[in-house]
Amino acid sequence: MSELLFIQDCNWQYLGLMYLSAMLRLHSHQTKLVIGKDIDGIKEAIEAFQPDAIGFPVMTGGQKWAAQLAKQIKEKYGIISIMGGPHPTYFPDYINNEGVEVIIRGESEFPLLDVMERIEVREDFSDVQNVSLKRDGKIIENPMRNIPQDLDVYPFPDRSLYDFLEKRIDRTVKEVLTSRGCPYQCSFCFATVQRRIYPSNGKHVRFRSIDNVLQEIKELKESSKVNQIYFADSVFGLDKKWLYEFLSRYRVEIGIPFFGLVRANIVTDEFAKNLKDAGCVKVFFGIESGNEEIRNHILRKNVTNKQIYRAAQLLHKYKIKFRSYNILGLPGETMETAMETVKINVDIKPGFPWCSLFTPLPGTVLTQYALDRGFLDDNFDFDKVPKSYYSISLLNLSDKTKIENLQKFFQTAVLWPWTFPLIKKMIALRPNFIFNWWFSLIYFYIFLKAESTSFWKTLMFAIDNYRNIILKNK
């Protein structure tokens, strides 16, 4: 038996960590999670648990924090750290950073299990697939294994990993995956990159069996309070034959309100009706940009305005609320194209409009596009990427300040279009704390409505993340 201590720096439940923990516990290893921002905040957990290794889920924006803390842990306790998650997966050069000893790329349940099994018996793990590590001053990079095809081999997520957060966050909305992978080629998304890093063997998009998904939800109902289910697939409902059979059984066997992420181009009358009949209360889908040239040629979204308007019409028809995802400050963005994004949202009337500023993420096609065309400097450092998608733009844009300001008032303009004439004047002003404060207030209001969570627990979560993300980025 070996012990792994996960460390993260915010009160958030990561489904990926739950899957990793479940796989390790299934094979008699021990796991624990601690939330802390520095060595003082985690030393008690380390000394009590005495782990064989530390596990960091690393997102772009938090990579510097993880590397620095891992270095301090190694110096103080002599414990190795294993980095996984999006940043090391799509930016494997992360292994070159001081403090980074081991990274695991891609889906990590089996690679991490292999590593921990070797650690248990004190064997070398430098040849484990998906793993890169430093050894004797050199970097060893192992090839990627074939992507697992049968998702039913994975144990159900270990949600007990976050039991200690019960009184600090709302845990009544449960995330469930029915599939992994995405077939689309969006230039801003990691899914396109993920297909390239795996061997070509097997399908990239894989589905769990209907029985397996329903069994997980039944066990959730028996063991905890569940108000809603969030199907956290990259796109929920890709296989409509699978979906309609699943929904017919879900309605009878489960009956819990649910929501998920879809795409406008797959929403038909039959699709929306089946969702509604099974208990769907809301869906999310991406618009990204209101300008079709940007959306379909630069972002490679391949969704037309006509499809977006049609999807919104059908969702309104069946009284399914929806969130629209939007991005301002894209490469080549102007105030004119940014205003098109506001307009299409005003037209379709989403209940939960959402808008970020474009964040250049390592390895994506869109980031390379920005570099090639001078929207990012040649020597751009990914350590400059903020943890928040809402703070600043890192691109070289002619209307940069106005676009940053518009993002702060985007949700206001969409929900209350009568404010738009005033907003057009305000965005010409210098950015200031009032704009940030107003954005935070409206964001909290929409998040509360969209996620159907407890007001007080959501408030506590918002304050914690404001301190952790917004203040640290100043």
**Residue closest to 101 by CA, chosen among 59, 61, 76, 66:** 66
Hey, how many other C-beta atoms are within 10 angstroms of the C-beta on 259? Answer: 25
Give the 3-state secondary structure of residue 380. Answer: coil
Q: Are residues 118 and 184 in the same domain?
A: no
- Give me the pLDDT at residue 437, please: 92
Q: What predicted TM-score, i.e. pTM, was given to this entire model? A: 0.92
Amino acid at 300: R
> Mind listing the pLDDT tens digit for each residue in 373-394?
999 998 888 888 877 778 889 9
Copy the structure tokens of residue 448.
């509360």
List, for residues 418-427, the tens digit of each pLDDT value. Answer: 999 999 999 9
Same domain, 28 and 128: yes
| Domain edge (last residue) among 141, 156, 176 | 141
For residue 147, what is the DSSP state?
P
Rounded to whole angstroms, the maximal C-alpha distance in the chain is 68
In this predicted structure, what is the pLDDT of residue 452? 64
Q: Which amino acid is at 418?
A: W
Percent of residues, the chain, with pLDDT higher than 90: 82
- Is 153 inside any structural domain? no
Helices 335-348 and 305-317, packing angle to 10 deg: 30
Distance CA 407, CA 429 (A): 13
* Tokens linked to 428: 């010409």
Q: Is residue 133 domain-shared with residue 240, that is, in the same domain?
A: no
Residue 255 lies in a domain: yes
pLDDT over 70 (residue 400): yes
| pLDDT band of 472, cuts 50, 70, 90 | very low
Could you give the angle at the alpha carbon of 15 between the alpha carbons of 236 and 253, nearest 5°?
A: 55
pLDDT at 83: 98
226 and 329 share a domain?
yes
| Residue 466 in this model has a pLDDT that exceeds 80 | no
Residue 233's domain comprises: 166-473
Condensed to tens digits (0 to 9), the pLDDT of residues 40-60 reads: 999 999 999 999 999 999 998
CATH, residue 350: 3.80.30.20
Do 116 and 218 lie in one domain? The reply is: no
Same domain, 250 and 289: yes
Q: Which helix (H) or strand (E) holds 8?
A: strand 3-8
Find all residues with CB under 8 Å of 441, minimum gap 6, and list them.
none
> How many domains does the chain divide into?
2
Average pLDDT across the chain, whole number: 92
Q: Which of 99, 124, 141 is the last residue of a domain?
A: 141
334-366 pLDDT, tens per residue?
A: 999 999 999 999 999 999 999 999 999 888 999
Q: What is the pLDDT of residues 33-43, one digit of tens each?
A: 999 999 999 99
Sole residue written with tokens 């954005």: 439
